[in-house]
Amino acid sequence: MKIKETLAAEFDQFSDNYTEDMIRCVPHYLRLLSGLSEHLPGSFSASRILDLGCGNGNVTALLLDKFPDAEYTLLDASADMVALCRKRFSGINMTCIRSYFRDYTFPEDYFDLIAAGFSLHHLDSREKQWIFPLLCNGLKQEGIFACSDLMISKTSPEHEGLIEEWRAFVNASYPDGEKWAWMTEHYDAYDRPDDYADQEQWLYNAGFRYVVTKWRDGHWVNFIAGK
């Protein structure tokens, strides 16, 4: 598989066998996804939810079990991913928007919950520092931003070790090495992970009152941040 020229086209292509590829290519994928729903405070309820970088809707599907009556907004740059969501959730009252984050007007004081599963590592450090205040403003008071992702800068001294472990994980499922070769190209072109500690600081700078790690294994992290 060759990588595509834009992120949207890249994920159009990736949408074909997305969930299985993610399970086999991303350590702890299912564990980190379920954390977005399971690690919310017991007393928390949500009536408006934004799935930021929804992909094929795996995060929304989990949240629907917990918040069946909420109003959902699903946002993604990939037309094919958004089309999968429209099909998957047909009959359910939700808004699916095909847009890059930079072109979306985030409403203010609107969402109870914003969930981002493996989408923010596509933004570089500057873009994360741009979007975190918009997410904070977009939440109602007491609202929560929940995020699961890879959190390590490519310049970290631990990055090389992470890549070695990751390569072994992927090659265990795809021993011919082709999948890892594609992933390396994709990672170089489209992935811009940052250290957790930096993101934590940027979240506080953006106005969040607390940031709590709920689960992590190495640099694979699930956290919640509260307004």
Positions that interact with ligand SAM (CB under 6 A): 7, 11, 22, 33, 53-55, 58-59, 76-78, 81, 100-101, 117-119, 122
Query: Cα 185 from chain centroid?
Result: 20
Which one, 77 or 94, has the nearer CB to ligand SAM? 77
Q: Which residue is nearest to ligand SAM (CB)?
A: 55
Measuring CA to CA, which residue among 45, 77, 38 is closest to residue 59? 38
Which one, 40 or 142, has the nearer CB to ligand SAM? 40
Task: Give φ, ψ of 159 to 5 degrees.
Answer: -65, -40
Q: What is the DSSP letter of 194?
A: -
How many other CB atoms are found less than 10 A from the CB of residue 129? 18
CB of 141 to ligand SAM, least distance (A): 26
CB of 222 to ligand SAM, least distance (A): 11
Which one, 142 or 180, has the nearer CB to ligand SAM? 180
CB of 43 to ligand SAM, least distance (A): 25
CB of 101 to ligand SAM, least distance (A): 4
Q: How far apart are CA 203 and CA 114, in angstroms?
A: 14
Q: How far apart are CA 85 and CA 57, in angstroms?
A: 5
Which one, 48 or 128, has the nearer CB to ligand SAM? 128
How many other CB atoms are found less than 10 A from the CB of residue 197? 10
